[in-house]
A and B are shown apart, each in its own frame.
Chain A
Amino acid sequence: MSSIEIEDKVFIKSIENSLTVGSWAFNIETNTLDWSLVTKKIHEVKSNFTPNVSEGFNFYKEGIHRERIISLFNKAITKGEKFDDDFIIITSKGNEKWVRSIGYPIFKNKVCVGVRGVFQDITEKTLITKEIAIKEKQFRSIFQNSVAGMAIIGLKGEWLKVNKGICDILGYTEKEFLELSYIDLTHPNDVTIGKKEISLMLSGRLSNFQIEKRYIHKNGTIINCLLSFTIVIDLNKKPLHFIANITNISKIKRGEEKIKNLLDITSKQNDRLLNFAHIVSHNLRSHGGNLEMLLQLKKEEYPELIKNEYFPLIETAVENLNKTIHNLNEVSIHNSVNKNDLKTLNLLLYAKNAIGNINALILANNAKIELSIDKNINVKGVPAYLDSILINFLTNAIKYKKPTVAPIILINAIQEKEFVIIEITDDGLGIDLEKFKHKLFGMYNVFHKHKQSRGLGLFITKNQIDALGGKIEVESKVNKGTTFKIYLKHE
Chain B
Amino acid sequence: MSEIKLACIIDDDPIYLFAIKKMFKIINFSKEYIFYENGLEAINGLITIIEKGESLPDVILLDINMPIMDGWVFLEEYRATKIKNKIPIYITSSSVNNIDIERAKESDLVNGYINKPIKKNSLIKIKTLLNK
Contacts and interface: CB of A to CB of B under 8 A. Distances in A.
Interface of A: 278, 281-282, 285-286, 288-290, 292-294, 297, 300-301, 329, 333
Chain A contact residues: helix, strand, loop or mixed: helix
Nearest 9 A/B pairs, CB to CB: A289-B117, A286-B94, A285-B94, A293-B117, A290-B15, A293-B19, A289-B116, A292-B117, A297-B22
Contact of A286 (B16, B18, B23, B97): B16
A282 B96 CA distance: 7
Give the most central of A278, A285, A300: most B CB within 10 Å. Answer: A285
A290 B16 contact: yes
Contacts of B65: 282
A293 B92 CA distance: 14
B95 interface: yes
Nearest to A289: B117
Contacts of B97: 278, 281-282, 333
Nearest to B64: A282
B80 interface: no
A333 B26 CA distance: 36
Contact of A282 (B15, B94, B98): B94
Given A286-B116, A289-B117, A292-B117, A297 B19 contact: yes
Contacts of B22: 297, 301
Given A300-B26, A329-B96, A333-B98, A285 B116 contact: yes
Given A285-B116, A333-B97, A294 B15 contact: yes
B16 A293 contact: yes
B13 A294 contact: no
Nearest to A285: B94
Interface of B: 13, 15-16, 18-19, 22-23, 26, 65, 93-98, 116-118
A405 B91 CA distance: 48
Give the one of B13, B16, B23, B96 with max A CB within 10 A. Answer: B96
A333 B95 CA distance: 12
A340 to B, nearest CB: 15
A294 B19 contact: yes
B117 to A, nearest CB: 3
Nearest to A294: B19
18 contacts: A281-B96, A281-B97, A282-B95, A285-B95, A285-B96, A285-B116, A286-B13, A286-B16, A286-B94, A289-B117, A290-B15, A290-B16, A293-B16, A294-B18, A297-B19, A329-B96, A333-B96, A333-B97
Nearest to B117: A289
A286 B14 CA distance: 12
Nearest to B16: A290
Nearest to A301: B22
Contacts of A294: 15, 18-19
Nearest to B14: A290
Given A286-B116, A329-B96, A333-B98, 10 more contacts: A281-B97, A285-B94, A285-B95, A285-B116, A290-B16, A290-B19, A293-B15, A294-B15, A297-B22, A300-B26
A329 B97 CA distance: 9
Nearest to A330: B96
Contacts of B98: 333
Contacts of A288: 117
